[in-house]
A and B are shown apart, each in its own frame.
Chain A
Amino acid sequence: MLSNYIKIAWKVLLRHPFYTFITLFGISLTLTVLMLITSFLDHLIGAHYPETKRDRALYVERIVMSDSSQQSMMSNSMSFKFLTEYAKTLKTAERVTIFSYFNGSNAYVGSQKIKLNITFSDADFWRVSDFKFIEGKPFNEQNIANGDYVAVITDDFKKHYFANSDAPVVGKNVEIENINYKVIGVVKGSPITRPFTHADIYFPYTAPKSNYQNSGMVGNFIAMILAKDASDLKAVQSEFQSNIKKIPLPGKQGGFKYSVLEVRSDPYLENFITTILNGGPGLKNILYGVIGFIVLMLMGLPAINLVNLNVGRILERASEIGVRKAFGAPVKTLMWQFIVENIFITFIGGIIALILTFTLIQIINTSGWIAYADLTINLKVFSISIIVCLIFGLLSGVLPALRMSKLSIIEALKA
């Protein structure tokens, strides 16, 4: 039965190549856009190199202090001392790493200027993240205790900085702002879309200019907490919050009197959203509204288009419907036939979209628009697209099928 429906659908497709083109264009285009968006979102928030343990990681990015009347507010990253005291001591966590946000700097090779980003981190940074070492090894607690001037660099920086980029560079020096550091390891870099682990050079936090000595609560450090298991996240969060509650209130920080203090430890997605929506719940609603509207338009317009076309074209097949009805086919069967046909067409569109998306992703990855971009069509993205495909097929199939089923036999046969 099913194969019969598909055969009919195939014949219908071939009968009017122009209409088939419109239909397939609409479906594949919409799916391509949706798949590209999901793929990019997955690139942003999914667990990918080198933050492969994102599903059991918590991010402590900012301390928010506000006064009693909520009039003024101060939001900042934290000092090394603060994080050591309140985050590093967590007992429920497997590991905690404290590191700085990347900061801009320059290096000079001959008459060339290399713009680069530097990060200061502790030794656990390399255990919480999953960097692939092409050469050498990460710095460890010993290097930090000695205050060694060592650095882990990315392969990209190595290529730019060293003349002979094929030769191993571990043990060689790099000069950044007039200080020489010994290269201890070379890693495959992390894209800038993962701002926590992105940098060109990683220094131990005891290196000069890291400002880990700052005594107050605010500074330029952030932390990543790795739970033993994804189910432990709640426990770690509540332990961290109980640590934060120990800070006496109200207090004073650099001339700012605060009586409310908030330090969140959130999974990546939540942290990401709070960063975008620092403007409170009103902005959140607007943003969700806008996203909802865009998705609705993106899916709705092509869907309406298809429905429209299908409704129009269903009359072409009025005589076929009439004959089938005259021979006793119930409305339900006819509806199923049209829905199956639609889903079949949608799947063809889906396959085209998959090929298109794959090509586009390859182009984006190799173009260098985002260094180290690693967009993929993974299983999750693919299955979402399939579901979208089905919804699409149903959307554009049900309405015409309903209209069609209302045709009376006589009218259908006459047409």
Chain B
Amino acid sequence: MIRHLFKLIWNKKKTHSLLIIEIWASFLVLFGLATLITYNVRNYIEPLGFEYENVWAINLGNNQDTVAISEKVQTIFQRVKGFQEVESISRMSGVYPFSQSNNGRTVKYKNSDVQMSFVAADENLSKTINIPLIAGKWYRNADSVGKYIPVVINRKAETALFENQSAIGKVLKDYDGKAVWVVAGVIDYYKDKAEFMLNKPVMFELLKADQIYDKSLVIRVKPGTDAVFEAKLVKAIAGIAKGWSTEIVYLTDARQKQHNMTLIPVLIFLIICSFLLINVALGLFGILNLSIARRRGEIGLRRAMGATEGSITAQFLGEVWVLATFSLVLGLLFAIQFPLMNVFDIAGGVYITAILIAVVIIFLIVTLCAWYPSRQASRIHPAIALHED
């Protein structure tokens, strides 16, 4: 039966070529869309790793003031901490959670070297945004006296650097091969560019209180704290440091911004693709309708020879499936290159899932489009159909 169907299609390959191209192209579009969605969904279901509700980030800028910067930052820190609305406060570099900025470092251990996101933060960060540790502990400010700078890395970084060994207590080297850091603790996840971000290696370094660059404050406020307190906070900071700029960002807002940057392109792509596919589906329906109408004689003959309604429907559905399979094989030749050549550095599983999704959807569309015309064909009465010729 299947061999017969293949023969039927092969004999008419010229007339079917356009149909094959159409299905092939739809498959490629679907493959692109499915890849994009699978990639993002996979990232989304991995945990974020910290809490952001009721957390604010305060960005300080010293502008033209160059006198006693670190002292002023520390005074501001103590003043903000003193407010009873503030539950917890931490000082960190400008790459606070959901910020638009990035900082990267190359970290080496023996033969492995890993590119990591780099965050400088003080001892309170894990408490302020609640990052649970899975091994070791978060460094203390007092640890700064040691020979190496204490750091906390995430599990991804631990695996990349040490494979199966524990990272605690190991000394890490910088790009030039100088021993700089010692690992104090390991956390699980820290996706600081929000849920849709790929889980990447990250390293937290103990922030030096006397330096002047890293002056973002992250505070957890009591639930229900509003802009009245915010204004009070800005005023208090301005009172300590004249001429400084203060920008307060709610992490919930910053997270929304990060989400939009991912979701809007996906949404636009999704809308365009669905319209394209509706278009293709309608076209397919029309073409199948036409071609079946033209084969009434053949159907009549088969019915007269004893074929049941079901077998007629099955024949036409089968033909369309064979056609779709032809196109999908062509499409797969293209699509399979992506996981094979590791394009865009995306995990191979994403492409495979995307290919499967695309194949299933193509078969669904094709079946839906062929169902009605096939049913119509099977209802043709042999006497009427044969009478026409």
A3 at the interface (CB under 8 A from B): no
Contact between chains at A300 and B25 (CB < 8 Å): yes
Contact between chains at B246 and A177 (CB < 8 Å): yes
Contact between chains at B286 and A111 (CB < 8 Å): no
A305 at the interface (CB under 8 A from B): yes
1/0 per residue, CB under 8 A from B, across A143-164: the answer is 0000000000000000000000
Q: Which of A115, A178, A209 contacts B234 (CB 8 A)?
A: A178
Contact between chains at B22 and A112 (CB < 8 Å): no
- Given A108-B234, A298-B272, decide whether A22 and B19 contact each other with a Cβ distance below 8 A: no
Q: Which 3 A-B pairs have the closest CB atoms?
A: A305-B283, A108-B231, A113-B227
B243 at the interface (CB under 8 A from A): yes
Chain A, residue nearest B26 (CB): A301
B388 at the interface (CB under 8 A from A): no
A18 at the interface (CB under 8 A from B): yes
B333 at the interface (CB under 8 A from A): no
Q: Which of A19, A113, A213, A315 contacts B230 (CB 8 A)?
A: A113
Contact between chains at A25 and B279 (CB < 8 Å): yes
Would you list 7 pairs from A and B whose C-beta atoms are within 8 A, ordered by A residue?
A: A25-B279, A106-B247, A177-B246, A178-B235, A178-B238, A301-B26, A301-B279
Question: Which residues of chain B are near A115, meaning CB under 8 Å?
Answer: 253
Contact between chains at A26 and B283 (CB < 8 Å): yes
A104 at the interface (CB under 8 A from B): yes
Bound complex: CA of A29 vs CA of B276, how far in Å? Answer: 8
1/0 per residue, CB under 8 A from A, across B278-295: the answer is 111011011100110010
Question: Which residues of chain B are near A111, meaning CB under 8 Å?
Answer: 226-228
Bound complex: CA of A25 vs CA of B238, how far in Å? Answer: 61
Q: Which of A19, A25, A104 contacts B247 (CB 8 A)?
A: A104
1/0 per residue, CB under 8 A from B, across A297-314: the answer is 110111011111101110
B residues 208-259 near A (Cβ < 8 Å) are: 226-228, 230-231, 234-235, 238, 243-249, 253
B29 at the interface (CB under 8 A from A): yes
Bound complex: CA of A27 vs CA of B26, how far in Å? Answer: 17
Contact between chains at B245 and A25 (CB < 8 Å): no
Chain B residues with CB under 8 Å of chain A are: 18-19, 21-22, 25-26, 28-29, 61, 63-64, 226-228, 230-231, 234-235, 238, 243-249, 253, 272, 275-276, 278-280, 282-283, 285-287, 290-291, 294
Known contacts A29-B279, A105-B247, A108-B227, then 17 further A-B pairs from the complex at CB < 8 Å, ordered by chain A residue: A22-B282, A22-B283, A26-B283, A29-B275, A33-B272, A110-B228, A115-B253, A177-B246, A178-B235, A208-B243, A209-B61, A211-B63, A301-B25, A302-B276, A308-B287, A309-B290, A312-B286
Contact between chains at B234 and A309 (CB < 8 Å): no
Contact between chains at A177 and B234 (CB < 8 Å): yes
- Given A18-B286, A208-B63, A297-B28, decide whether A305 and B272 contact each other with a Cβ distance below 8 A: no
Bound complex: CA of A298 vs CA of B279, how far in Å? Answer: 11
- Given A29-B275, A208-B63, A209-B243, decide whether A177 and B282 contact each other with a Cβ distance below 8 A: no
Question: Which residues of chain B are near A309, meaning CB under 8 Å?
Answer: 283, 286-287, 290
Bound complex: CA of A21 vs CA of B289, how far in Å? Answer: 14
Chain B, residue nearest A179 (CB): B238
Question: Which residues of chain B are near A106, meaning CB under 8 Å?
Answer: 230, 234, 247-248
A residues 304-360 near B (Cβ < 8 Å) are: 304-309, 311-313, 315
Bound complex: CA of A308 vs CA of B26, how far in Å? Answer: 14
Question: Which residues of chain A are near B253, meaning CB under 8 Å?
Answer: 115
Bound complex: CA of A104 vs CA of B26, how far in Å? Answer: 43
Question: Which residues of chain A are near B282, meaning CB under 8 Å?
Answer: 21-22, 25-26
Question: Min CB distance, B69 to chain A, in Å?
Answer: 15
Contact between chains at B18 and A311 (CB < 8 Å): yes
Most buried by B among A30, A112, A209, A306: A209
- Given A26-B279, A297-B28, A312-B291, decide whether A304 and B22 contact each other with a Cβ distance below 8 A: yes
Bound complex: CA of A307 vs CA of B15, how far in Å? Answer: 12
Question: Min CB distance, A42 to chain B, in Å?
Answer: 17
1/0 per residue, CB under 8 A from B, across A103-138: the answer is 011101011110100000000000000000000000
Chain B, residue nearest A18 (CB): B286
Bound complex: CA of A306 vs CA of B238, how far in Å? Answer: 67
Chain B, residue nearest A118 (CB): B245
Most buried by B among A30, A110, A312: A312
A residues 7-26 near B (Cβ < 8 Å) are: 18-19, 21-22, 25-26
Question: Which residues of chain B are near A18, meaning CB under 8 Å?
Answer: 286
Contact between chains at A305 and B245 (CB < 8 Å): no
Bound complex: CA of A298 vs CA of B249, how far in Å? Answer: 40
Question: Which residues of chain B are near A105, meaning CB under 8 Å?
Answer: 245, 247
- Given A108-B234, A301-B22, decide whether A306 and B243 contact each other with a Cβ distance below 8 A: no
Most buried by B among A178, A213, A308: A308
Chain A, residue nearest B250 (CB): A113
Question: Min CB distance, A363 to chain B, in Å?
Answer: 14
Question: Min CB distance, A407 to chain B, in Å?
Answer: 14
Question: Which residues of chain A are near B26, meaning CB under 8 Å?
Answer: 301
Q: Which of B25, B235, B290 contacts A297 (CB 8 A)?
A: B25
Question: Which residues of chain B are near A33, meaning CB under 8 Å?
Answer: 272, 275
Contact between chains at A302 and B279 (CB < 8 Å): yes
Question: Which residues of chain A are near B280, meaning CB under 8 Å?
Answer: 301, 305
Q: Which of A110, A113, A177, A305 contacts B279 (CB 8 A)?
A: A305
Contact between chains at B276 and A298 (CB < 8 Å): yes
Q: Which of A209, A302, A304, A315 contacts B294 (CB 8 A)?
A: A315
Q: Which of A177, A178, A306 contacts B283 (CB 8 A)?
A: A306
Contact between chains at B287 and A301 (CB < 8 Å): no
- Given A178-B238, A308-B18, decide whether A112 and B227 contact each other with a Cβ distance below 8 A: yes
Question: Which residues of chain B are near A301, meaning CB under 8 Å?
Answer: 22, 25-26, 29, 276, 279-280
Bound complex: CA of A402 vs CA of B228, how far in Å? Answer: 75
Bound complex: CA of A185 vs CA of B150, how far in Å? Answer: 53
Contact between chains at A22 and B286 (CB < 8 Å): yes
- Given A108-B230, A211-B64, A301-B29, decide whether A308 and B22 contact each other with a Cβ distance below 8 A: yes
Question: Min CB distance, A158 to chain B, in Å?
Answer: 19
Question: Which residues of chain A are near B21, meaning CB under 8 Å?
Answer: 304
Question: Min CB distance, B191 to chain A, in Å?
Answer: 23
Bound complex: CA of A413 vs CA of B226, how far in Å? Answer: 83
Contact between chains at A297 and B283 (CB < 8 Å): no
Question: Min CB distance, A38 to chain B, in Å?
Answer: 14
Question: Which residues of chain B are near A110, meaning CB under 8 Å?
Answer: 228
Question: Which residues of chain A are near B278, meaning CB under 8 Å?
Answer: 25
Bound complex: CA of A357 vs CA of B181, how far in Å? Answer: 58
Chain B, residue nearest A290 (CB): B32
Contact between chains at B25 and A304 (CB < 8 Å): yes
Bound complex: CA of A113 vs CA of B25, how far in Å? Answer: 50
Contact between chains at A313 and B234 (CB < 8 Å): no
Bound complex: CA of A307 vs CA of B61, how far in Å? Answer: 62
Bound complex: CA of A18 vs CA of B286, how far in Å? Answer: 8
Question: Min CB distance, A80 to chain B, in Å?
Answer: 12
A residues 212-240 near B (Cβ < 8 Å) are: 213
1/0 per residue, CB under 8 A from B, across A189-211: the answer is 00000000000000000001101
Chain A, residue nearest B235 (CB): A178
